[in-house]
Structure 1
Amino acid sequence: MSGSANVDPRANAYLAARVNDALKLLQTDGLSPALEFMQLVGVPRKVALRVLCSPSQQRSHDRRRTPR
């Protein structure tokens, strides 16, 4: 069984941290700088737009489980 079907979209800790940084930028500098930052660090545009434009899609905390 490959396990690739159960990949956590936030398994990439680097991108998860950059998304959190972008959300801080969104609050201080606005949408455009936050989107530009996300694109520069490699967050897919579709993901960046969903997160920045839909507050209901933003996570209030990290829901990842602790490693087994």
Structure 2
Amino acid sequence: MSGSAQSDPRANAYLAARVEDALKMLRTDGMSPALEFMQLVGVPRTVALRVLCSPSQQRTRDRRRAPR
């Protein structure tokens, strides 16, 4: 099981859910509030910017077959 968390970029369920919240916020309130929210919940700024600025890299659904 060693290293399994690194193979799944969304292993942290709390942060994954907050990223989803931020993406909803991006659509309704814009970039600045979504970025601020992501930073407040602990998403690194570089990750937050990549997610918010790259719609082609946003996931349409969770790739895992079953929730953990």
Normalising by structure 2, we get a TM-score of: 0.87
Deviates more, 1:58-67 or 1:35-44: 58-67
> Map of 1:45-64 to 2, 5 A cutoff?
45-64=45-64
- Distance in 2 separating the partners of 1:6 and 1:65: 16
Per-residue deviation at 1:9? 1.4
Normalising by structure 1, we get a TM-score of: 0.87
Query: Greater CA radius of gyration, 1 or 2?
Result: 1
Aligned to 2:43: 43
Mapped contact 2:25–2:34 kept (Cα < 8 A): yes
| Identical pairs, percent | 79
Per-residue deviation at 1:53? 0.1
- SS of 2:16's equivalent in the other structure is helix
Q: Which runs of 5+ in 1 are unaligned?
A: none
* Aligned residue pairs, count: 66
- Distance in 1 separating the partners of 2:61 and 2:48: 17
Deviations 1:25-50 (A, max 9, x none): 00000000000000000011111000
Q: Which runs of 5+ in 2 are unaligned?
A: none
